[in-house]
Amino acid sequence: MAPLTIRQATKSFGALKVLHGVDVNIEDGEFVVLVGPSGCGKSTLLRLIAGLEDMTSGDILIDGRVVTGLHPKDRDIAMVFQSYALYPHMTVAENMGFSLRMQNVPPEERARKVNAAAEILDLTPLLERYPKQLSGGQRQRVAMGRAIVRDPKVFLFDEPLSNLDAKLRVQMRAEIRQLHKQLKTTIVYVTHDQIEAMTMADKIVVMRGGHIEQIGTPLDLYDRPANTFVAGFIGSPSMNILPGEIDPGGLSFSSAKGTRIVLTQPLEYGVGQRVFLGLRPEDFELSQDGFEAVVRLVEPTGAELHVTLAAGDEILTAVFHGRPDIEEGATIRVAVATRKLHLFDRETTLRLGARPAAHGEPDGSERQS
C-alpha cells in the first residue's frame, strides 16, 4: 500500500510520441482505472510504472521513492498480465511462490504464504496442478495469487479480464473488487471497457491519444464529463451528442440538421452560443411538454426498453425503464430535464458553464489538457 505519483510521463517509440507529459496522483490504497480506446497509451503508462518500458522523460514515485530507471524487480510491484503469463512448467504452487523463491525465502515460509493466498482465492485444491490443466478463470486467479504473495506496494492489472467470457468477467470483477477491500493495496488497472471502469474504480483516468482527458470518480465522470469525448465514452448506451445552437431566449436548441428541441426550463447559460448538446439515453422521459420524435426501432432487454428515435434528421437513442407502451413507427413526445442536459463548447468541446451541481455537491472533477 503506497501512494503512486506519475510526473510528466513522456514516452516515444522512435519518432512516435505515445505519451505526452502525463501527470497522475494516486492515493495510498486507491483503486485507479486507466481507461480509453485502443492506442490511447494506457497500457504504455502501466508498463512504465512497472518498469517494463523506459521513460523518455518524467518520473515515477512509489511511496515517495523515485523508481524511474529501476529494474522491475526493485520497484516492489506486482503485475497481472492479460495473458496471465503463468510459467507453464511449474505447478500453481510453484508459480505463486516463485517471487519468494527468488528472494531466498525458506520453503516453509514460502508454503505458508502461498497457502494463505490460495485460501483467499479459492485455489487450495489446485495447488499441484499445472497451468494447462486449468480453466481461464482459474488461471486468472493464479495470476492474481502470484501477485498477492509478493505483498507489493502497488498492484498492476493489464486488461486481465478481456480473455474471459462475459459471465465470468462479471464474476471476476466482483472478486477483484472484493480482494481490494480485503487487501487495501494501491491498484492501477487498465481496461478498454468503461463498464469495468465504472463498477470497479475509486478513481478513473480517461485517456486518449497519449493525453489525459479527465480524472475523477466514476460518478464525477458520469455527471460532469469535462468534454465531449469523456461524455461519449462513459455510459452505455453512449450519450447522444448533437451539434447546434441554443436559440436566443434559452428555450430551445436548434441542431445543425435543423431539428428543434424544446427545453423544459429556460437555460441560464450558453444562450445564443454554438454548442454540442448532450442527452443521456437514460435521461429521456415521455412528456407532453417535450419535442416530437418518430420511433424507428424498439429493443426490449427485459428490464429496459432501448428505443431509437428520429427527431427530424437527428437519430437519438433513448432508454426507458419498465415497459412503456411504445411501438415502432409511432410518434411520441419526449423530453430531457434541463438540469440533466450537458452543454459543450462547439470549438473546444469543453464542458460549458456552471451547471448547478446536484444536491449541493462540490464540483470536484479535474480536467487536464
Partner 1 sequence: MVRWQRSLWLFFLPSFGLLALVLLWPLAYAVYLSFFDYYLGAPERTFVGLGNYAGLLGEARLWNSIGTTLIIALGSVGLEFLVGMGLALALYRLGTGARVFSTLLFLPHVVTPVVATLFLKWMLAANWGLVDATLLTFDIEPPDWLGSPFWAKVSVILADAWIFTPLVMMVLYAALQGLDTAQIEAAKIDGASDWRIFRHIIVPALIPAIIFTISVRLMDVFRFFDVIYVLTGGGPGTATETITMYTYQLGFRMLEVGKASALGVITLIVVAALLFTINRTLTRIYRRGDQ
Partner 2 sequence: MSNHALTLGGRRNGYGLFLALCLVTFVNLVPLLWAVLTSLKHPADAFTIPPTIVFEPTLDYHRKVWFENDFFRFLTNSLIVSLSTVAISVPIGSFAAYALSRIPRRSAGPILSVLFTIRMFPHMLLAIPFFVMGTFLNMIDSYPLLILALVAINQPFTVWLMHGFFLDIPRDLDEAAAIDGCNAWQAFRIVILPLARPGMTVAALFSLLLSYNEFLFALVLTGAKTKTLPVAIASFGGEDVSAWSLSAAGAIGIMLPIVVIMVILQRHLVRGLTAGAVKG
Contact residues: partner 1, CB under 8 A: 51-54, 69, 71-72
User: Residue 363 carries which DSSP code?
Assistant: -
- Of residues 60-79, those binding partner 2 (CB under 8 A): 71-73, 77-79
With binding defined as CB under 8 A, does residue 109 bind partner 2?
no
Which one, 16 or 102, has the nearer CB to partner 2?
102
Q: Select the residue interacting with partner 2 from 87, 119, 162, 184 (CB under 8 A).
A: 87
Least distance (Å) between residue 8 CB and partner 1: 19
Q: Are 23 and 162 in contact (CB under 8 A)?
A: no
Choose the one of partner 1, partner 2, none that binds residue 323, judging by a C-beta under 5 to 8 angstroms depending on kind: none
Stretch that binds partner 2, among 87-95, 121-129, 133-141, 335-343 (CB under 8 A): 87-95
Note the Cα 183 to chain centre separation in Å.
Answer: 21
Smallest distance, Å, CB 96 to partner 2? 10
Q: What minimum distance in Å lies between the beta carbon of 54 and partner 1? A: 5
Give me the residue label for grid cell 518498469: 51
Kindly state the cell numbers that stand for 298. 424498439
139 is in the binding site of which of partner 2, partner 1, none (Cβ under 5 to 8 A by kind)? none
Angle between helices 136-149 and 92-102 (to 10 degrees): 20
User: What is the rounded CA–CA span in Å between residue 325 and residue 98?
Assistant: 60
Closest residue by Cα to residue 57 from 25, 3, 18, 27: 18
C-beta of 70 vs 298, nearer to partner 1: 70
The neighbouring-strand residues paired with 25 are 5
Residue 71 or 321: which CB sits closer to partner 1? 71
52 lies in the binding site for partner 2 (CB under 8 A):
yes
Which C-beta is closer to partner 1: that of 41 or that of 51?
51
Separation between Cα atoms, residue 345 and residue 351, nearest integer Å: 6
Q: b/e for 96-135, b at 16 or more Cβ within 10 A?
A: bbbbbeeeebeeeebeebbbebbebbebeebbeebbeebe
- Using CB distances below 5 to 8 A depending on partner kind, what does residue 27 bind out of partner 2, partner 1, none? none
Q: How many residues bind partner 2 (CB under 8 A)?
A: 22
State the cell numbers at 355: 451547471
- Write the DSSP assignment of 87-154 as a string of letters: -TTS-HHHHHHHHHHHTT--HHHHHHHHHHHHHHHT-GGGTT--GGGS-HHHHHHHHHHHHHHT--SE
Given the complex with partner 2, which of 98 and 253 has the nearer CB atom?
A: 98
Which of the listed partners (partner 1, partner 2, none) does 54 bind, with a CB threshold of 5 to 8 Å by partner kind? partner 1
Residue 191 buriedness (CB in 10 A; 0-12 / 13-18 / 19+): buried
Residue 50 or 206: the one with the smaller Cβ distance to partner 2 is 50
Residue 212 CA to residue 102 CA, distance in Å, equals 37
Residue 360 Cβ vs partner 1, minimum distance, rounded to whole Å: 50
Q: If binding is defined by CB under 8 A, does position 133 make contact with partner 2? A: no
Three-state secondary-structure class, residue 339: helix
CB of 262 to partner 2, least distance (A): 56
State the Cα–Cα distance between residues 273 and 322, nearest whole angstrom.
37
Q: Is 29 helix (H, G, I), strand (E, B) or coil?
A: coil
Task: Look at residue 69 and give the partner it binds from partner 2, partner 1, none, a contact being a CB closer than 5 to 8 Å depending on partner kind.
Answer: partner 1
Q: Does 83 bind partner 2 (CB under 8 A)?
A: yes
Smaller CB separation from partner 1, 69 or 237: 69
Which is closer to partner 2, CB of 77 or CB of 188? 77
Nearer to partner 2, 148 or 198 (CB): 148
Using the rule CB under 8 A, is 88 a contact of partner 2? yes
Residues in the site for partner 2, rule: CB under 8 A?
50-52, 71-73, 77-79, 81, 83, 85-89, 98-99, 102-103, 146, 150
